Amino acid sequence: SYDLTQPPSLSVSPGQTAIITCSGDKLGDKYAFWYQQKPGQSPVLVIYQDTKRPSGIPERFSASNSGNTATLTISGTQAMDEADYYCQAWHRGIAFFGTGTRVTVV
């Protein structure tokens, strides 16, 4: 097994920066992926290979991964960014998801 721990929740004001952490043993030695999931919808990939944004994902989404922690940063957070965010990494051939962070824009 491989545990990826995220803070359960995060509140951010519109226009401010949201920083979501994902902690796992030697996570920096693996690629980290990030998914956004809005209520009633399927997950959407927002970051892959630690730092890359798929086409269509706004530039305000950025990320890093080093040591035991991967970080997703949402700069200039908008109301539409309110969602659950999950990190994901591979360990011994199996995909593991983080515990998830609910971002509330208030």
Partner 1 sequence: DVQLVESGGGLVQSGMSLTLSCAASGFAFEDHVMHWVRQPPGKGLEWVSRIDWRSDTLVYADSVRGRFTISRDNAKRTLYLQMNSLRTEDTAFYYCASQANGDYSQNPIDSWGQGTLVTVSS
What are the residues binding partner 1 (CB under 8 A)? 1, 30-31, 33, 35, 37, 42-45, 48-49, 54, 86, 88, 90, 93-100
Give the integer Cα–Cα distance in Å for 5 and 106: 24
Q: Least distance to partner 1 from the beta carbon of 31, Å? A: 6
Task: Please say which residue, 35 or 61, places its beta carbon nearer to partner 1.
Answer: 35
Task: Please say which residue, 12 or 45, places its beta carbon nearer to partner 1.
Answer: 45
Task: Please say which residue, 48 or 60, places its beta carbon nearer to partner 1.
Answer: 48
Contact by Cβ (8 Å): 95, 86: no
Q: Least distance to partner 1 from the beta carbon of 62, Å? A: 16
Whole-angstrom distance between the N-terminal and C-terminal Cα of the chain?
A: 36
**What is the DSSP annotation of 24-41?**
-TTGGGS--EEEEE-TTS
